[in-house]
Structure 1
Amino acid sequence: MAAESVGQGLQQVALSTAFDVHFPALEVVLPLVAAPLCFLFRSRAFARILSAAVAWLTFGVALVLLQKVLAEGTVRYPLGGWAAPYGIEYRVTVAGAWVILVVSLVAALTLLFDSRGSASRLAPERRYLYYSAFLLCLAGLLGMAITGDLFNIFVFLEISSLSSYALIALGRDRRALMASYSYLIMGTIGGGFFMIGVGLLYQMTGTLNVEDMAQRLPAVLDTRTVLVGFAFLLVGLSIKLAVFPLHQWLPNAYTFAPPRVSAFLAGTATKVSYYVMAEVVFVLFGAHFVFTEIGLGAVLMPLSVAAMFVGSLAAIYQADLRRLLAYSSIGQLGYMTLGLSLANVEGLTSGLVHVFNHGVTKSGLFLVVACVGYRTGRTTVRSMAGLGTRMPATSLAFVIGGMSLIGVPGTAGFVSKWELIRGALAAERLWLAAVVLVSSLLAVVYVWRVVEMIYFGRPEGLESLGRDGEPVREAPFSMLLPTLILVAATVVFGLWSDPTLSVARSAAVELLGGAGG
């Protein structure tokens, strides 16, 4: 009997291990298959339940993959059994697993947010189209972080981009269509540039696998074709990442998209592009070539500093909360690219930990705005007047999220900025550390504008009434729950930063020791 039970246990372990092998593919297949199912069944309820289930499943798979990568190293999955570089390979690194964890977590929590706050132009009976597009976008973003093939990155980039254009266009405001069109134009240029770069590099190396190409590139690095290919890749990704001054598409896209879409994209889309840029820079070409021979840091560093100040200054003068948060994102992305431009462990760690910290913070803040919009019918700074007593939980959530944007100790934002300052000091750039501190003071200004209105502003006339003509009250629990979870994460991982910092540092070390140098 004992031998039989042991045998059954070993069989279960073997089956579990055999199934685990397919997790990289499962992470992409789940949302990719669920998206057309939502369309085929044409049921809003079915689509919502299926989407939420898929999002939480991808989060669970992402957790398993991250644990596996940290314990065993890079996980490889050759599609169709064809080993790289002859076949397409899914390659999950520490950095890739970290990014898919953030993407799936934000997706799961934004889908948990009550659909009554979606503010979509779709009729309720056609909302299944929204979930189809959402799942396609999720599949594209996850695929970009998992695939080890440059052309596949482009394919997944286009899947996520096309679906995000549709999602943004669903906003009730007529300007959502123009915002989507503007993003489409910029996104098409970015995707086109990326594809041209891939084509030029393929011409010189004869392979599309990232690691295999990294091994072949040193022999042709001094050719103009490779240099031009690198430039096209970098500019294309910079557009997708909204690197200053290629950020023009972002403010309108985040402002006029449906609230849940803004929350999802703000926490995921640019973060995945940041990861791909880090892969191209450190794994494909290598830090020595990019920063020593080409001198990318001399360009990216001042652009990052400019983004930090321009984004924060623009946020100060915004009357709409969504636009304020959008411009804030431009400044926060500047911190991430600044960390990358330092090309040291501390700097890159700050950028990668900010992928999580800013992702949960900004998604939570956009959901706060969605709660305010649902109850008041407005999303202006003025609409926050007196909400400290009428919507206390929502108001507190904004305060905590705002503190994280500033970088107040005890919040996740502080962890990112402290690591960035350490990176600047390690690179012997004391002035950069000072710049980070000064730019944080600008965040104090735009956050305080809203906080002052919440607790010291007085609603005038009809401002005290909500969209239904009744006195404004706290948001429904189904909206508050995901909002508070995201905001609470900024405190939990601000006070207990070891898990996020250790993973981000492992990812940074892995990237800096990439195949390209």
Structure 2
Amino acid sequence: MINLEKWNLVFGLTLAILWIAVACIARAIKQGDRRWWGVAAGVGALSIVSLFFTGVARVVLLDTTALLAVALVWLGGSSDAKKAARTYLFLLIPALVFIALGMVLGGGNAAANSPAMKAAAILLIVGFGLKLALMPFYFWLPGVAETVPALTTAVIVSIVDIASFSELVHLCETMAGLFEGYSAIWLGIGLLSMFGGALLALAQKDLKRMLAFSTIDDLGYLILGLTVGGEVGLQGALFGALSHAVCKVILFGAVAVAENRMGHSITLADGGLAARFPVSGAAFIAGSLGMLGVPPTIGFLGRWRLYQTGVALGGAWLGIAMAAATALALLYYVRAIHRVWLGPVQGESSNPEPGLSKMVLIVLVVAVVALGIYPGLWTGLLR
């Protein structure tokens, strides 16, 4: 059985470390004014604190965190960022309402096939689909990623969304009927997110938009783990969520440094960035390997468990489908690495990487490999 209290401790410690990492990089590259720092601090603190509450208190904390995330996007400054914030807010409000109503309707002793439980399941599926930007409810995330600084998106996808995903894991344990009776719907959303996210990531030229769609792609695997359930499935989803959070901070952190030093958003037209920013380039490659679940990175801890659960649920065909989705992900990561980081140098930039950002990225990359080689450094907290 999964001990959610101990997993909440692991999530809390991990998210706290990641928030400190984001704060250090933001300090090194001057990420916004005092308002940005105040809102970002609130987002980090409430996300972490919410993990140690249950019931109404946890829902209120997570909802407040999500609304603060909208404010963080609004502080992006540009008119496009404000437009993205409005889209985020307009989709977030119904998501929060649907989740609250779904928890009320499904929180009693209603049978899995009762009208109340059916309504609860639909409300929660749509609510979490909107909140986590799953397919086909993803509309707010790419616009946010494109229009705000990379570290703002890192806070949202690595801290806010992962804290919200932990609530979905909690519901999977306490309201199992919402998954057991509707596994086909959850599986469909998971597969659609995996393939839709990967294909749309391949279509992007802006690196932050590509990373946004890769987030949707990776969340599809996590939903698959929850759909199958059981100890292996839930462990795959939990380890996958933790590695997702760490690797996304690395990826967006590397892009944030390059974006700040180049003075514009990074696209496939930029080339040879690793020659200018070698630590950020190496970190981006390591984060990509972690997202793909390549051993010995920490991504392998969750990904091989998720493959096990996929084969257990759908046999060889589902395993092949997951492998195909991973192959698509490999294509867009390899393309980004080849054209943006390892390609021929385009333009000029004499601004070196800040020392603090290099130190943070090196520490996170070492952690990605060390935890993959010796997961007991992480899983020891669960004993």
With the length of structure 2 as denominator, give the TM-score of the two structures: 0.91
* Per-residue deviation, 1:422: 1.7
Q: Which amino acid aligns with 2:25?
A: F
Q: How does 1:76-475 map to 2 (within 5 A)?
A: 93-115=5-27, 117-120=29-32, 127-149=33-55, 151-200=56-105, 217-218=108-109, 223-283=114-174, 285-286=175-176, 289-292=177-180, 294=181, 296-382=182-268, 384-427=270-313, 429-454=315-340, 456-460=342-346, 463=347, 465-466=348-349, 471=350, 473-475=351-353
Aligned residues: 383
What is the alpha-carbon distance in structure 1 between the residues aligned to residue 231 and residue 64 of structure 2? 32
* Per-residue deviation, 1:451: 1.8
* Per-residue deviation, 1:502: 6.6
* Per-residue deviation, 1:102: 2.4
Contact kept? 2:179, 2:186, Cα under 8 Å: no
* Per-residue deviation, 1:166: 0.9
Contact kept? 1:221, 1:227, Cα under 8 Å: yes
What is the alpha-carbon distance in structure 1 between the residues aligned to residue 376 and residue 316 of structure 2? 26
Residue 379 (structure 2) pairs with residue 493 (structure 1): no
* Per-residue deviation, 1:160: 0.5
* Per-residue deviation, 1:336: 0.5
Residue 366 (structure 2) pairs with residue 482 (structure 1): no
* Residue in 2 that maps onto 1:24: none
Contact kept? 2:50, 2:61, Cα under 8 Å: yes
Q: Which amino acid aligns with 2:328?
A: L
Q: Matched residue of 1:429: which SS? A: helix
Q: Which amino acid aligns with 1:262?
A: T
Contact kept? 2:28, 2:356, Cα under 8 Å: no
Structure 2 residue ranges without an equivalent (≥5): none
* Per-residue deviation, 1:199: 4.4
* Per-residue deviation, 1:230: 4.0
1:242-291 CA deviation, whole Å, 9 max, x = no partner?
221111111112232233221222211221121111212221x22xx334
What is the alpha-carbon distance in structure 2 between the residues aligned to residue 130 and residue 408 of structure 1? 35
With the length of structure 1 as denominator, give the TM-score of the two structures: 0.69
Contact kept? 1:413, 1:494, Cα under 8 Å: yes
Considering only CA atoms, is the larger Rg found in Structure 1 or Structure 2?
Answer: 1
* Residue in 2 that maps onto 1:63: none
* Per-residue deviation, 1:421: 1.2
What is the alpha-carbon distance in structure 2 between the residues aligned to residue 158 and residue 180 of structure 1? 16
Distance of aligned partners of 1:220 and 1:425 in 2 relative to their CA distance in 1, 3 Å threshold: closer
What is the alpha-carbon distance in structure 2 between the residues aligned to residue 191 and residue 369 of structure 1? 31
1:290-331 CA deviation, whole Å, 9 max, x = no partner?
344x2x211111221111111111111211111111110000
Contact kept? 1:350, 1:420, Cα under 8 Å: yes
What is the alpha-carbon distance in structure 2 between the residues aligned to residue 118 and residue 177 of structure 1? 20
Contact kept? 1:397, 1:484, Cα under 8 Å: yes
Q: Which amino acid aligns with 2:375?
A: S
* Per-residue deviation, 1:110: 0.7
Distance of aligned partners of 1:230 and 1:367 in 2 relative to their CA distance in 1, 3 Å threshold: same
Contact kept? 1:368, 1:398, Cα under 8 Å: yes
What is the alpha-carbon distance in structure 1 between the residues aligned to residue 343 and residue 254 of structure 2? 18
Q: How does 1:19-58 map to 2 (within 5 A)?
A: none
* Per-residue deviation, 1:454: 4.5
Distance of aligned partners of 1:417 and 1:95 in 2 relative to their CA distance in 1, 3 Å threshold: same
Contact kept? 1:365, 1:487, Cα under 8 Å: no
Could you say what the CA RMSD is over the residues aligned between the two structures, in angstroms? 2.5
* Per-residue deviation, 1:356: 1.2
What is the alpha-carbon distance in structure 2 between the residues aligned to residue 256 and residue 386 of structure 1? 23
1:345-399 CA deviation, whole Å, 9 max, x = no partner?
2121111001111101011110100110121113323464122322222111111
1:166-216 CA deviation, whole Å, 9 max, x = no partner?
111122443111111111011101111123234445xxxxxxxxxxx5xxx
Taking only the aligned residue pairs, the percentage that are identical comes to 24
Contact kept? 1:119, 1:259, Cα under 8 Å: no
Q: Matched residue of 2:109: which SS? A: helix
After the TM superposition, which of the residue ranges 410-419 and 322-331 deviates more from structure 2?
410-419
Q: Which amino acid aligns with 2:63?
A: E
Distance of aligned partners of 1:199 and 1:399 in 2 relative to their CA distance in 1, 3 Å threshold: closer
Distance of aligned partners of 1:263 and 1:428 in 2 relative to their CA distance in 1, 3 Å threshold: closer
Distance of aligned partners of 1:227 and 1:453 in 2 relative to their CA distance in 1, 3 Å threshold: closer
* Residue in 2 that maps onto 1:66: none
Distance of aligned partners of 1:299 and 1:226 in 2 relative to their CA distance in 1, 3 Å threshold: closer
* Per-residue deviation, 1:219: 6.0
Contact kept? 1:234, 1:277, Cα under 8 Å: no
Q: Which amino acid aligns with 1:361?
A: C
What is the alpha-carbon distance in structure 1 between the residues aligned to residue 378 and residue 296 of structure 2? 14
Q: Which amino acid aligns with 2:135?
A: F
What is the alpha-carbon distance in structure 2 between the residues aligned to residue 221 and residue 412 of structure 1? 36
